[in-house]
Structure 1
Amino acid sequence: MEREVASAHTASRDSTGWSGLARYIIAAALARTADGGAVVAIVLLVTTEGGGGSLAGLLGACITAPHLLGPFVARRIDLADDGRRIIAFACVLYSIALAAAVISYGQAPAVLTGLLLSISGGCGPLLTGGISSRLPAIAGRDQHSQRRAQGWDVATYGIGGTVGPSVVAAVSSWASPGLAALCLAVAAFGAAWLVMRLPYSAPEHGGDIRSVPGAWSTIALMAKDGPLRRTLYMTVLVAFSMAALPITAVHMTALLGIPAASAAAMTAAYGIGNLTGSVGVMLQPLRGSPDHLMSGLALCVVGGLFAVMISPTLSIAIATYWVAGIVNAFFFAATLAARTEYAPAKGRGQVFLWVAAMKITAGSAGTAAAGVMTGWDLRIPLVVGMGLIGCAVALSFIERCMERPRVA
C-alpha cells in the first residue's frame, strides 16, 4: 500500500503543470465527446434500422435519464483513496455498456438494449462533473491558475457538445450509426487510460470516511449554504433557458423566410461562441467572487436571449447566437469557479456531480418545454427563459442582502 501511494505521489509530481493539464484536457474532451454524441448515435441507429420514433425516443431517454442517479454514486469519489480509479472505471463501464447496447440492438430484445444504455447513462455524470472534480488538483493552488484552467474545462464541454454529434453525423453518413457509436465507446475507453495518468490527489477525509457526507446530506448542505444554493438554481435555470436555442433556430427560419437548413448555421454559431468564450476565459480569467459573477453573467445571458429574439435577418441571428454562446461560456466558467471555491473539501466530488446532473436534466426539460411552447410562438420559450433567469438574479440579490451581517 505504501508503495502504491509513493508511486502515485511520484506520478503526481511528474504530471503537474502543462503536462497534467494537457492530459486532463484530452481526457475530458474524449469523455464528453462520447457523452455528447451518444444520444444522437442511438436515435440514428434506431431510425436507420427501421425502428419507430417512439422506440428511438425511449432508448435515447435510457441514456439521458439515468444521469440523475450519478450523484448517488459520487460519494465513491470522495471516499476513495484514489478518486481517479472510480472515474476511470466509469469510463470503461460506459464504453463497454454502450458498445454492447449497439451490438445487441436488433439481435436481442429492446429491453436488454435499454438496460445497457441505462448503465452507460448512469456513468455519464462521472464523465462530466466527475472529471471536473479532478481539476483543482491539476490547475495549481492560486485562484488565477484555477480560473484559467476552468476556461479549458469549459472548452472541453463545448468540444464534447459540438464534436460528438458531428462525429456521429460524419461516420453515420460514411458508414453507419452503429460504427459511430462504437467510435464513441473507444473515445470513452481512451479517456479512462488518460484519467489514470492525471496527477494524484490525496483524499480529503484523511482516513476518516465517516466525515464524508452522503448524497442526501450533500444536497441538504447545498440547500442551506447560500453560495452553493445559488450555484445550483442559477445553473439549472440558465441550462433550462439556453436549451431552447436549437429549437428556436428551426422555427426562426420560417419566420425569417430562409431555408430550414439555415438553423444549422445558427446552432453552429452558438457552439463556436461557446468555444470563443472559453478561449476568452483562458486569456483573461474571471476575477472576483463567483457568487457575484454568476449573477452578473446571468444578466448577460438574458441580454443574449433578447438579442436572439429580436434578430431581423439571418446574418444578425447568426451573430446573436454566437454572442449567446460566448456569454454562456463565461457563465459556465463562473459556476465551475463557484463549485470549486464553495464546495466542502470532503464532499467536492458530490457537489460537482449534483450540479452536473441537475444541469443535464434541466437542459433536457428545457428542450422538451421549448418544443411545446414554440408551437404557440417561437418567442415564448425565450421570454420564459429570460423571466426565469431574471427571477433567479433577483432572488440571488435578495439572498445576499439578507445574509449580510447587520451593523449595530
Structure 2
Amino acid sequence: MKEETLPGYSHNESLDRAGLARYVLAATLARLADGGGVLAVILLCVADSHSAGWAGTLAACITLPHLAGPFIARRLDTAHDSRWVIAAACLIHTGLIVAATLTFSRVPLSMTGGLLAGAGLCGPLLTGGISTHLPAIAGRSRDDQRRVHGWDVATYGLGGTVGPALVAALAAWFSPSAALYTLAGATAMAAYFILRIPVPSAASADEKRHVPGTVATMLLLVRNPRLRRTLYLTVAVAFCVAVLPITAVSLATALGVAATTAACLTVAYGSGNLVGSVCLMIRPLVGEPDTLMTRFACFITAGVFLIMLNMHFVVLLMLFFVTGMLNAGFFGATLAARSEYSPSACRGQVFVWVGAMKITAGSLGTAAAGRLMLTDSVWPLAMGIIVLAIFIGVALTEQTLYSLHALNDDERERPT
C-alpha cells in the first residue's frame, strides 16, 4: 500500500530527523518560558510585600497580549525566512524579561507591566509561530506529518508542566528573580536552535504580495467550514479543560484529602497529556482531522462528565490521566487540521490565530470556574461540559449538512 503524501508542504521528501531534534529543543525551551512565566511573575510580586497586590495584574500583562498575536503574525508569511522572525522574538522576549526583573521595585510597577506586556506580545510567536515550521521538517508523508505533531504536543506538555515546576524549585532554592533569569536564558537558547532547523520553502515575491491581512485571514477562518470547526472546537475544548485544575483543588474537601494531595489530579492530567503525545509519535493519527477533532471532543466531554460523577480519589486520578491523553489526541488533530486545511499563503497566521483564541478561551474558562467554585465544585465541570457539548452539536450538524449536500450534488451529476 502506497504511503499517502501531502503536496506543497516541503522540499524534503522524508522526515528530517536532525531537524526534528533541533526543533524539539527550540520549541521546548521557548515553551518552558511561556509556561513558567506567569508563576514566576506572581512569585516575584509575592516576595515583595509592597507589590503583592499587583501579582494578578502583572501576570495578566504576560498573557493578555497573546490576543494581539494575530495582528503581528502576518510577518511569518511575508518574511523571506521566518526563522529569523521567531528568533528575533525570542531575543526581544529575553531582553524585556531581564529588564523587567532587573528594574522590579526600582521603577513604577506600571513600567514593569509595560515591559512584561512587550514580552507577552512575543508569546504567540514562541508558541504557535514555531509550529509553522513543522511541514519543512516532516516532508511529504502524511504519517510523518502526524508523527511530528505528536512531538509538538509533547513540547507544549513539557512547557506547561516542567516550566512551572522549574520556576517553583528555583524560587524556593534561590529567588523568583533567579527563576525569571533562567526562563530568559532558555528563550535565548531557543533562538539559537530555531536558526538551525530546516529552512522553510521560500515563497515567490508574487505570493508574498498576495498574503492576506489579519482581517482577511480571520474571515477565511470563519468562511472555510473545516477551519471554522477547527477554531471553535479548539476554543470549546480549551474552555472545558481549563476548569480541571480549579476543580482538582476544590474537590479536596469532598474527597477528604489535603489541597496539596488533590493537586495531584492536575499532575495526573499533565502526565496523561505527555503519555498521549508519546502515543502520537509511535502511532500517528489516521483519518481526516475534521472527523478526528469532533471524535476526540466527544471523548473529552465523556471524560469530564465521568469526573463530575465520581468522588473516589483513585478513580479520579485515572480519569484525569485519561482525559489528559484524550486532550493530547485532540491537540494533535487540531495541528493536523491547521497544517492541512490552511492555504500556504497564510498558514502562519492561521496557526497563531487559533493558538491565540485557545489561550484566551483557557483564561476565560479558568476565570469562570474560579467564580463558580464558590458555589459548588460540580458547577465548573457542568459549565465546561455544556459549552463543549453545544459546539460539538454545531460541528456534527455542519458535517451532516455538508455530507447531505455533497450526496445531492453527486446524484445530480450522475448520468441517467
Write the distance in 1 (CA, Å) between the matches of 2:50 and 2:218.
Answer: 39
Return the letter of the residue paired with 1:336: L
Alignment of 1:280-299 (within 5 A): 280-299=279-298
Output aligned runs, 1:137-216, within 5 Å: 137-216=136-215
Q: 1:324: Cα distance to partner?
A: 1.0
Cα displacement string for residues 245-296 of structure 1 (whole angstroms, at most 9, x for unaligned residues): 0100011111111111112211111110000100111111101000000000
How big is the shift at 1:203?
Answer: 3.0
Q: Per-residue deviation at 1:16?
A: 6.2
Unmatched segments (≥5 aa) in structure 1: 1-11
Runs of 4+ in 1 over 4 A off after TM superposition: none
Q: Using structure 2 for the length normalisation, give the TM-score.
A: 0.93
Please state how far the C-alpha of 1:54 moved relative to its aligned partner: 3.5
AA matched with 2:284: P
Corresponding residue for residue 3 of structure 1: none
3-state SS in 1 of match to 2:133: coil
- 1:189-338 map, 5 Å: 189-338=188-337
Q: How large is the RMSD of aligned CA atoms in angstroms?
A: 1.4
Cα deviation for residue 313 of structure 1 reads 1.7
Letter in 1 for 2:24: I
1:387 corresponds to: 386
Cα distance in 1, alignment partners of residues 91 and 132 from structure 2 = 18
| Aligned-partner Cα distance in 2 for 1:379–1:294 | 26
Aligned counterpart, 1:398: 397
Read off the aligned partner of 1:257 and give its amino acid letter: G
Give the superposition deviation at 1:239.
0.3
Name 1:112's counterpart in structure 2. Answer: 111
Residue 5 of structure 2 corresponds to none
Aligned partner letter, 2:70 = P
Task: Indicate conservation of the 8 Å contact 1:133/1:348, yes or no.
Answer: yes
- In 1: Cα distance, 2:146 partner to 2:15 partner: 16
Q: Tell me, yes or no, if the aligned pair for 2:15 and 2:144 is still in contact at 8 Å.
A: no
Partners in 2 of 1:382 and 1:42 — Cα distance?
28
Deviation at 1:319, TM superposition (A): 1.1
Q: CA deviation at 1:53?
A: 4.5
Aligned to 1:65: 64
* Cα separation, 2, equivalents of 1:16 and 1:305: 36
Q: Percent identity?
A: 48
CA contact (8 A) 2:93 2:187 kept: yes
Check whether the contact 1:306–1:386 (CA below 8 A) recurs between aligned residues.
Answer: yes
- In 2, distance between residues paired with 1:59 and 1:320? 34
Counterpart Cα distance in 1 of 2:322 and 2:402 = 33
Q: Distance in 2 between matches of 1:17 and 1:218?
A: 30
Distance 1:51 1:139, change over 3 A: farther
Secondary structure of 1:261's counterpart equals helix
Is the Cα–Cα contact under 8 Å of residues 30 and 190 in structure 2 kept in the other structure?
yes
- Structure 2 runs not aligned, ≥5 long: 1-10
Alignment-derived partner of residue 7 in structure 1:
none
Superposition deviation, residue 103 in structure 1: 1.0
- Whether the 8 Å contact between 2:77 and 2:349 is mirrored in structure 1 is yes
Aligned length: 396
Q: Deviations over 1:206-240 (max 9, x none)?
A: 44422100011000000000000000000001001
8 Å CA contact retained: 1:39, 1:63: yes
